[in-house]
Structure 1
Amino acid sequence: MKKRLPLLIMFFVLAAPFAASVVILDDRAGLHPSNSDTRAKGNWLSESHFVTPSQNNHWKLLWRKQDCQPNCDDFVNLMRRLKMATGKYQDSVELESLPSDILKQKSQGIFIADPKGLLLLSYSADDDGAYKALKDIKVLMKHSGV
């Protein structure tokens, strides 16, 4: 038994940190999809809405004209900053305003559309919504191979 004791101690020293990390970090390490950070930050649209598809196969950041009231210059500037913040993807993003008849009933004011024109996600028409849209558009573009 005395000859096997060092071998058992060495095995315990190597295996204990792994076992502890599995037990402690099980729900934080992405092992449970419900707790992972891969979910969209915006709201998925429950109905299909289409806009004019991009001719250059670009993603679109859209806003409703009614949401830029009373100061449209500040809101358009926010959207331009949002596009610039996409970094290396900014050449693959188009800014566009939605016609006023589309999505009137939605309370959200910033939208993401894929290159085929399908509106996917909506966000609040403020700085927080723009930040969330930025996070989602970067993930979408990264995984779409742009």
Structure 2
Amino acid sequence: MFRNLIDINLTGSFLVSQACARHMISQKTGGSIVFLASIAGSRVLHPQQQCAYNASKAAVTHLAKSLAAEWAQHSIRVNTIAPGYMDTALNREALLEGQKKHWAAMTPMGRLGRPDELNGLAVFLASDASRFVTGAHILADGGYAVY
């Protein structure tokens, strides 16, 4: 299970970004790559036990920073978005209702995020509006990380 999660979150991110960068470099266009990381990549979330997920997202964050440094010479920007607890289909199980209340209570905004609330940030990072932003790890967590 650990290796599978690493393969999906880390190896998959690397292989897709490598393919994109090859194209950007060959076309001499530069560009932007945006990884989806997680607040779990920079802090241990509780009460769930998810060391594999946490490790994979920490690795994605560091991968992005490394690629930002390596590919800057090709005008390729690499950044990450780190969502907090989100109200997704994966979390819509009756067994998780107690945890969701806990997560919301630990978030200063008092609620889980909605996936569509990441759209503006993704557009910003993908667009020329962020042409001097690379290696950034931007939290979109409703203030969870302030504690």
In the superposition, the TM-score normalised over structure 1's length comes to 0.25
In the superposition, the TM-score normalised over structure 2's length comes to 0.25
Whose helix fraction is larger, Structure 1's or Structure 2's?
2
